[in-house]
Amino acid sequence: MSPADTLRFATRAALGYPLRTALMVLAMSIGVAAVVMLTALGDGARRYVVEEFSALGANLLIVLPGRTETGGVNPGSFVSSTPRDLTNDDAAALLRLPLVQRVAPLTVGNSEISVGGRLREVMVLGTTADYLGIRGFGVAGGQFLPREDFGRATAVAVIGETIRAELFGNENAIGRMIRLGDRRLRVIGIMGPAGRGLGMNSDELVLVPVATAQAMFNTSALFRIMVETRGREALGPAQRQVENLLRARRDGELDFTVITQDAVLGTFDRILGALTLGVAGIAAISLAVAGILVMNVMLVAVTQRTGEIGLLKALGASTGAIRLAFLAEAGLLSLAGAVAGFALGHAGAWGIRLAFPALPAWPPDWAVAAAVGTALTTGLLFGVMPARRAAALDPVQALMKR
């Protein structure tokens, strides 16, 4: 029997029992669709986080106070246990490094903002003029914080769009005075919309000069220093320069951490990648169940078509030809299930994207290939036993059945 004939024969056989075939294909397609959809969800989450970090801007180094180290007691442990704060002077010193292009010191705190009778809690971010460029934000109206000495506490503020709408409504906000904590500040600008990243939404921020924020929160410490390097390839050398400079400024002690965006991103990428794999593994169980179903259906088919198998043997079919015909049928059922599941899974992923537009829920290529491949493999694997049973039937016994 030629391969084309075997396929045609198997197709006719599968179509000869429409309900059985439909149920089988449905089971297989649910398995494949589950893998496609769940990996789409997992990978979507991974991509969401990656994008979130990319919103930070490229070529970024982040300096944070303190250092987490694994290791026993070292001499440093006895000398000092509290890390020294990062200060505005540190930030200003970093600006002089050749590989550093821009620096933005950050201080963060919560305070109350009030205008007229309206009052609300806001997150206050103390920073400098370069923050806007480093983060890639825009200003919708007015101007951003003035370019001035890091130590100068000018009484101005730039507010987010949501804050503006809530406090001023339709009135013009620029030039108005607000009360932030115990200080009176003049609004000089409104943040542009959709600045997002790392859980901070620029729509709900009040930005003030770093020294103003420090005075407000009565501290000289910085929460972070953001450092932008000259180009992506300068990231590594710049990280060493920053470390060396800051270490020199604090008597040779490395009580701060410099992280690159890549490192953070890589970690999240790995965690969420593993999560996606795990979810895909769980979904793959349904594929195994579908495989067992293929076996069951094919065993029933062999019993149902015993007479036909006997006839084929009488007509001169070799055991190989019969085995192949039944295996081809199992393969076709799995293939149809895989294709239907592929379509179903993509439709599901589309539904997820529709419901959660922020989540880029596209199934990764590897998952789709793996799901369809696994469906075919399980179908064929579980089809072997029924096919062997069909081929091994005694023709005399088989012919006696109708």
Partner 1 sequence: MAQIELDGINRIFQLGDSQVHALCDVSLRIEAGEYVAVMGPSGSGKSTLLNLLGLLDRPNSGHYRLEGRDVTTLSADEQAAVRSARIGFVFQSFHLVPRLTAAENIALPLMLAGLPAHERNDRVAQALKDFGLGARANHRPDELSGGQRQRVAIARATIMRPAMLLADEPTGNLDRATGQEVTALLEALNAAGMTLIVVTHDPTMGERARRRVLMEDGAIRQDLRRGPEPA
In the bound state with partner 1, the residue whose beta carbon lies nearer, of 17 and 362, is 17
Residue 316 Cα distances to 97, 352, 396, angstroms: 87, 54, 13
Return the number of the residue (7 or 200) whose C-beta is nearest partner 1: 7
The residue type found at 188 is I
Which residues ranging from 298 to 317 are in contact with partner 1 (CB under 8 A)?
Answer: 307-308, 310-317
Residue 13 makes contact with partner 1 by CB under 8 A: yes
Max distance between CA atoms of the chain, in angstroms, equals 102
Residues 6 or more apart from 57 whose CB is under 8 A from it?
134, 135, 136, 228
Nearer to partner 1 among residue 40 and residue 325 (C-beta): 325
User: Binding residue for partner 1 (CB under 8 A) from 66, 146, 320, 373?
Assistant: 320
Is 12 a binding residue for partner 1 by CB under 8 A? The answer is yes
> Given 3-state DSSP classes, what are the helix, strand and coil percentages for the chain, each rounded to the nearest 5?
55, 20, 25
Q: Is 2 in the site for partner 1 (CB under 8 A)?
A: yes
Q: How many CB atoms lie within 10 A of CB 255?
A: 20
Number of residues that bind partner 1 (CB under 8 A): 27
Beta strands in 249-321 (DSSP E): 256-260
Residue given tokens 């694994």 in the structure block? 70
The answer to the question of residue 90 lying near partner 1 (CB under 8 A) is no
Task: Give me the least distance between CB of 330 and partner 1, in Å please.
Answer: 18
Q: 196 has which bridge partners?
A: 201
When asked if residue 388 is in the footprint of partner 1 (CB under 8 A), the reply is: no
Question: By CB under 8 A, is residue 18 in contact with partner 1?
Answer: no
Q: Nearer Cβ to partner 1, position 203 or 308?
A: 308
Minimum distance between the CB of residue 34 and partner 1, rounded to whole angstroms? Answer: 32
Whichever of 90 and 308 has its CB closer to partner 1, that residue is 308
The per-residue b/e assignment along 297-314, b for 16 or more CB within 10 angstroms, e otherwise, is: bbbebbeebbebbbebbe
* Residue 7 near partner 1 by CB under 8 A: no
Long-range CB contacts for residues 168-173, cutoff 8 Å, separation at least 24: 168/115, 173/141
Determine if 198 is a binding residue for partner 1 (CB under 8 A).
Answer: no
In the complex with partner 1, the residue whose CB is nearer, 96 or 402, is 402
Give me the residues that bind partner 1 (CB under 8 A), please. 1-2, 4-5, 9, 12-13, 15-16, 307-308, 310-321, 395-396, 399, 402
